């Protein structure tokens, strides 16, 4: 716990807002460490957030997420002053051994002062992605990023979570990965605002595009709802990346114009507040000085002397 960080929060925030990458990094570390200073950090950031467009990028392993993010950052940087990238690795909640080898590809932007790149694990966070990522997004937003990209591997719930954190969600596919049925199973048809079929120079790209289009067309949409476009890209050569950036811009404009942006941001804030409250409660419930602490109640449930609902009642009764 970095309690000593507290006195320097105002200074860190001021430096981050002036474009000091070291201060930005330090603030994100406070998020990762769940520092007690975070409360003060978020209070200081409050009036400076809300400017950044938050773009979630997800896709199965092997579709070319890092390369696509890399190419997209380059395309976005021609139009905006500052881009932040949070690369989330939700794979292992147990160990710090995130395999971030593909991060080295992002080294293209290592010398661009207009690009912040940060890898984050969701390990160790009681509230997972829902707790730490929005706070890291706030740091990058307040630091003047016009776009904040949250990139995560599209497996299980993490892709749904990333969609919940973003203003716009880009879903990446690639040909020949059995996308069809897998796409339907993984629920990606319901989270994408923009789709890219990457590796579009490979066999089967057109078929993947056709299948995706067909499945998207079957989804029921309200009148005036956004129709997710499908863009063909080859991230390694940059082909189609400008089109992709344009579609993302178009979605951002639609979000503002339709009122959907405010709805999405309120929903995001709801999850964020809930995650912070839950984390506080979990800590409270574990305190051994309680009459009914969670551990002893769990022991009684396991032993069969109390049922889980009655145990939850006891937990909540003590507050």
Binding site for a copy of itself (CB under 8 A): 38-39, 42-43, 45-47, 49-50, 61, 90-95, 97, 99, 128, 134-135, 153, 155-158, 160, 181-182, 184-187, 190, 262, 265-270, 272-274, 276-278, 280-282, 285, 294-295, 297-299, 301-302, 304, 306-312, 315-316, 319
Task: Name which of 80 and 262 has its Cβ closer to a copy of itself.
Answer: 262
Task: Name which of 74 and 155 has its Cβ closer to a copy of itself.
Answer: 155
Which phi and psi angles does 102 have, rounded to 5°?
-75, -10
Contact in structure between 116 and 177 (CB atoms under 8 Å) = no
Any idea of the CA torsion for 201, 202, 207, 212, to the nearest 10 degrees?
A: -70
- Pull the structure tokens for residue 94: 């147990």
Task: Name which of 150 and 315 has its Cβ closer to a copy of itself.
Answer: 315
Task: Name which of 58 and 233 has its Cβ closer to a copy of itself.
Answer: 58
The CB density around residue 297, as the number of other CB atoms within 10 Å, is: 20
Task: Name which of 79 and 277 has its Cβ closer to a copy of itself.
Answer: 277
Task: Name which of 216 and 298 has its Cβ closer to a copy of itself.
Answer: 298
Full DSSP string of 239-296: BTHHHHHHHHHHHHHHHHHHTHHHHHHHHHHHHHHHHHHHHHHHHHHT-TTSSS-HHH
- Pull the structure tokens for residue 301: 């449930």
Contact in structure between 251 and 194 (CB atoms under 8 Å) = yes
Q: 134, 85, 140, 91: which is closest to 110 by C-alpha?
A: 85
Q: 111, 150, 101: which is closest to 130 by C-alpha?
A: 150
Task: Name which of 67 and 233 has its Cβ closer to a copy of itself.
Answer: 67
Helix (H, G, I), strand (E, B) or coil at 196: strand
Helix (H, G, I), strand (E, B) or coil at 206: helix
The CB density around residue 84, as the number of other CB atoms within 10 Å, is: 27
* Helices and strands: H and E segment counts in the chain: 12, 7
Smallest distance, a copy of itself to C-beta of residue 268, A: 7
Task: Name which of 8 and 306 has its Cβ closer to a copy of itself.
Answer: 306
Q: CA angle at residue 27 from 22 to 32, to 5 degrees? A: 120
Smallest distance, a copy of itself to C-beta of residue 57, A: 16
Smallest distance, a copy of itself to C-beta of residue 224, A: 20
Task: Name which of 128 and 240 has its Cβ closer to a copy of itself.
Answer: 128
Smallest distance, a copy of itself to C-beta of residue 241, A: 26
**81 vs 114: CA distance, rounded Å:** 6
């Amino acid at each position: 716990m970095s309690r000593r960080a507290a006195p320097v929060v105002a200074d860190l925030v001021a430096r981050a807002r002036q474009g000091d990458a070291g201060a930005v990094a330090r603030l994100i570390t406070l998020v990762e460490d769940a520092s007690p200073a975070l409360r003060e950090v978020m209070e200081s950031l409050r009036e400076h957030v809300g400017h950044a467009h938050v773009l979630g990028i997800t896709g199965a392993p092997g579709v070319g997420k890092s390369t696509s993010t890399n190419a997209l950052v380059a395309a976005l940087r021609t139009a905006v002053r500052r881009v932040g990238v949070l690369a989330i690795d939700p794979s292992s909640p147990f160990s710090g051994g995130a395999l971030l080898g593909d991060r080295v590809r992002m080294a293209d932007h290592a010398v661009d002062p207009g690009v912040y790149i940060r890898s984050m694990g969701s390990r160790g966070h009681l509230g997972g992605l829902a707790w730490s990522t929005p706070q890291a997004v706030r740091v990058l937003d307040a630091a003047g990023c016009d776009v904040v990209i949250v990139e995560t591997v599209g497996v299980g719930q993490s892709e749904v979570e990333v969609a919940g954190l973003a203003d716009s969600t880009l879903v990446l596919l690639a040909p020949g990965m059995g996308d069809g049925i897998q796409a339907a199973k993984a629920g990606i048809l319901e989270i994408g605002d923009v789709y890219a079929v990457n590796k579009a120079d490979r066999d089967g790209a057109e078929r993947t595009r056709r299948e995706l289009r067909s499945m998207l067309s079957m989804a029921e949409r309200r009148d005036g709802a956004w129709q997710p476009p499908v863009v063909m890209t080859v991230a390694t050569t940059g082909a189609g990346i400008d089109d992709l950036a344009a579609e993302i811009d178009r979605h951002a404009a639609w979000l503002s114009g339709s009122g959907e942006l405010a709805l999405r941001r309120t929903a995001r804030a709801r999850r964020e507040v809930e995650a912070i409250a839950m984390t506080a409660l979990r800590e409270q419930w574990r305190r051994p000085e309680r009459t009914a602490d969670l551990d002893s109640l769990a022991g009684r449930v396991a032993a069969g002397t109390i049922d889980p609902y009655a145990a939850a009642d006891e937990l909540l009764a003590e507050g």
